[in-house]
């Protein structure tokens, strides 16, 4: 195992071939957190060499999602398509040292080989026909065929690494064939670009999804052929959706930015994603800073984590409750703006009054909207609470409130006066007033709610009984 010098350098290397979802962005969270926790550097690298499937909209979701979650890269984004010359340069170096060779085997020949191997119940693999060896006669080069370049994988020995998640992994070189590392047009292939980037970017820890475990021994052999230190690997188990399938866009996963639009807090999302495959004792709710203080690679889970929407909402509710009123107000202000509603200086206090009954910012904005816009009392609640019998008390309350100074204490004593005069219990009056003023009977304490409402609006809504 190679010894790594500080600083820790990690990377997130998404392929922009579809909207990035929660399962993908978790592969950014851990390398980001590890770099931050170690005082290291976090790099963003966009692996956009699949020209047919890569698109700018997917890049945008990656960049916006990471910005929203506060996972700012210290270096990058680097785009692989802009590094082609560099890959070709390194390829030429490998060629010069005899570690790659041209292979002229056609697709048809490869198919025949594969079928023969399958029929013999062997693992399909390239058979080394064009691999030069001392004393070996190679077939004659076909005319007009451009070769691929293959990497001379070692024939003997094993590739071993201590995976931070999966433990020790050993793969015999006999199981690995000679990988194509450049296409006939000279463009380098995926595994080669990844290694060149990880070398050039001096990556010390590769933290990525375990769908790449099979690439790792091949990549390690390329590192060695280039005479470079091999990074530490941590392969994260997959994230399953609520149905227990691998999370993917095809089966309904949402782009990560949709959670922003649905009113999730970035710190809540970081908290939730962190727990989806990592633990710190029994801690479920923690701040961004606590997460960064605690994060290590030794407590990553070994089994697949399952997404749970109800839990995410619960985590969000806990963060919402713990947020200060001013920050909530600034988020809610933006949501209100999108709804065409202007707010004012009452906003932080309104957010403070309602924050512990909301699980998203959008739900909070719904409550807040009642203070700034119109209200339509829920019909069933109106029928239940705003009865004929209560109308005289409501009329008296309008009278008392009209003459009342507009603060919580004065409003409370006006309500109390009405209760005494009408010999009513608090809920008998409070419920209809809530329905008329707030649209529903389930609200925080009435005096607090009314004090944050405009006096004129309260009086109008009560008169509409
Ligand atoms: N581009 C690869 C992906 O999106 C990740 C490669 C890596 O992390 O090495 O799955």
Question: For residue 442, how far is its CA from the centre of ligand 1 (angstroms)?
Answer: 49
Report d(CA 253, CA 442) in Å as an integer: 33
Q: In 3-state terms, what secondary structure has residue 79?
A: strand
Question: For residue 210, how far is its CA from the centre of ligand 1 (angstroms)?
Answer: 10
pLDDT at 76 over 50: yes
How much is the pLDDT for 3? 52
pLDDT at 350 over 90: yes
pLDDT (tens digit per residue) in 396-435: 999 999 999 999 999 999 999 999 999 999 999 999 999 9
pLDDT (tens digit per residue) in 1-47: 455 556 999 999 999 999 999 999 999 999 999 999 999 999 999 99
The count of C-alpha atoms lying within 13 angstroms of the C-alpha of 446, restricted to the half-sphere facing its C-beta, is 25
pLDDT (tens digit per residue) in 150-175: 999 999 999 999 999 999 999 999 99
What's the chain's average pLDDT? 96
Q: Is residue 192 part of a domain?
A: no
User: Do 356 and 308 share a domain, yes or no?
Assistant: yes
Residue-range definition of the domain harbouring residue 305: 256-370
The single-letter DSSP state of residue 151 is: E
Handedness of CA 265, 268, 274, 277 (dihedral sign): negative
Residue that is last in its domain, among 343, 370, 397: 370
Residue that is last in its domain, among 341, 370, 399: 370
Question: For residue 14, how far is its CA from the centre of ligand 1 (angstroms)?
Answer: 5
From 10, 16, 80, 208, the mutation candidate for ligand 1 (largest count of ligand atoms within 8 A of CB) is 208
pLDDT (tens digit per residue) in 39-70: 999 999 999 999 999 999 999 999 999 999 99
Q: Are strands 158-163 and 305-306 parallel, antiparallel or unpaired?
A: unpaired
User: Do 344 and 390 share a domain, yes or no?
Assistant: no
Overall domain count for the chain: 2
Query: Is the pLDDT higher at 193 or at 465?
Result: 193
Q: Is residue 310 part of a domain?
A: yes
Residue that is last in its domain, among 370, 395, 422: 370
Q: Is residue 147 part of a domain?
A: no
How much is the pLDDT for 105? 96
From 61, 78, 190, 194, the mutation candidate for ligand 1 (largest count of ligand atoms within 8 A of CB) is 194
User: Do 330 and 415 share a domain, yes or no?
Assistant: no
How much is the pLDDT for 316? 98
Q: What is the pTM of this model?
A: 0.92
Cα–Cα separations (whole angstroms), residue 380 to 296, 373, 384, 392, 458: 53, 21, 6, 21, 21
How much is the pLDDT for 1? 47
Atom of ligand 1 nearest to the CA of 211: 10
Question: For residue 57, how far is its CA from the centre of ligand 1 (angstroms)?
Answer: 18
Question: For residue 278, how far is its CA from the centre of ligand 1 (angstroms)?
Answer: 20
Q: Is residue 441 part of a domain?
A: yes
Q: Is residue 212 part of a domain?
A: no
What ranges in 357-407 are assigned the alpha helix state H? 361-372, 379-385, 391-402
User: For 134-153, what is the mean pLDDT?
Assistant: 96
How much is the pLDDT for 249? 82
User: For 173-193, what is the mean pLDDT?
Assistant: 95
User: For 180-184, what is the mean pLDDT?
Assistant: 96
pLDDT band at 121 (very low <50, low <70, confident <90, very high): very high
pLDDT at 71 over 70: yes
Q: Is residue 124 part of a domain?
A: no
Among the listed residues 357, 352, 269, the one whose alpha carbon sits nearest the alpha carbon of residue 316: 269
Which CATH number goes with the domain that contains 443?
1.10.10.350
User: Do 393 and 334 share a domain, yes or no?
Assistant: no
């Amino acid at each position: 195992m190679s010894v790594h010098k500080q600083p820790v350098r990690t990377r997130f290397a998404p392929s922009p071939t579809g909207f990035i979802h929660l399962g993908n962005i978790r592969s950014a969270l851990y390398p980001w957190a590890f770099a931050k926790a170690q005082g290291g550097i976090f790099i963003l690298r966009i692996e956009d060499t699949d020209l047919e499937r890569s698109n700018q909209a997917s890049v945008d979701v990656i960049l916006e999602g990471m910005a929203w979650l506060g996972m700012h890269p210290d270096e990058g984004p680097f785009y692989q398509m802009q590094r082609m010359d560099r890959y070709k340069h390194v390829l030429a170096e490998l060629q010069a040292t005899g570690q790659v060779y041209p292979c002229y085997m056609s697709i048809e020949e490869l198919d025949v080989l594969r079928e023969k191997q399958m029929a013999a119940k062997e693992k399909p693999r390239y058979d080394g026909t064009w691999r030069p060896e001392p004393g070996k006669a190679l077939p004659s080069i076909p005319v007009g065929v451009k070769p691929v370049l293959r990497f001379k994988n070692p024939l003997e020995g094993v590739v071993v690494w201590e995976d931070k998640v999966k433990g020790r992994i050993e793969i015999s070189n006999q199981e690995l064939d000679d990988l194509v590392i450049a296409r006939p047009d000279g463009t380098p292939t995926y595994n080669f670009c990844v290694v060149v980037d990880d070398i050039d970017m001096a990556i010390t820890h590769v933290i990525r999804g375990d769908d790449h475990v099979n690439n790792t021994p091949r990549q390690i052999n390329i590192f060695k052929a280039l005479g470079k230190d091999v990074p530490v690997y941590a392969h994260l188990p997959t994230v399953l959706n609520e149905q227990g399938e691998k999370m993917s866009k095809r089966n309904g996963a949402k782009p990560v930015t949709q959670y922003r639009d649905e009113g999730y807090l970035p710190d809540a999302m970081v908290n939730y994603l962190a727990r989806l495959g990592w633990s710190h004792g029994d801690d479920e709710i923690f701040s961004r800073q606590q997460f960064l203080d605690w994060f290590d690679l030794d407590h990553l889970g070994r089994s697949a984590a399952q997404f749970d929407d109800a839990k995410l909402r619960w985590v969000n509710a806990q963060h919402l409750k713990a947020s200060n009123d001013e920050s909530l107000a600034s988020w809610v202000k933006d949501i209100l703006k999108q709804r065409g509603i202007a707010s004012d200086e009452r906003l932080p206090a309104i957010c403070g009054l309602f924050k512990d009954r909301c699980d998203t910012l959008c739900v909070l904005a719904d409550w807040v909207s009642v203070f700034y816009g119109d209200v339509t009392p829920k019909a069933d609640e109106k029928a239940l609470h705003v009865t004929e019998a209560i109308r005289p008390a409501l009329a008296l309350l309008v009278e008392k409130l009209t003459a009342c100074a507009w603060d919580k204490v004065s409003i409370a004593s006006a309500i109390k006066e009405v209760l005494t005069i009408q010999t009513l219990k608090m809920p008998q009056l409070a419920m209809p007033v809530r329905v008329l003023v707030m649209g529903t009977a389930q609200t925080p304490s009435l005096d607090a709610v009314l004090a944050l409402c405009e006096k004129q609006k309260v009086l109008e809504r009560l008169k509409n009984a």
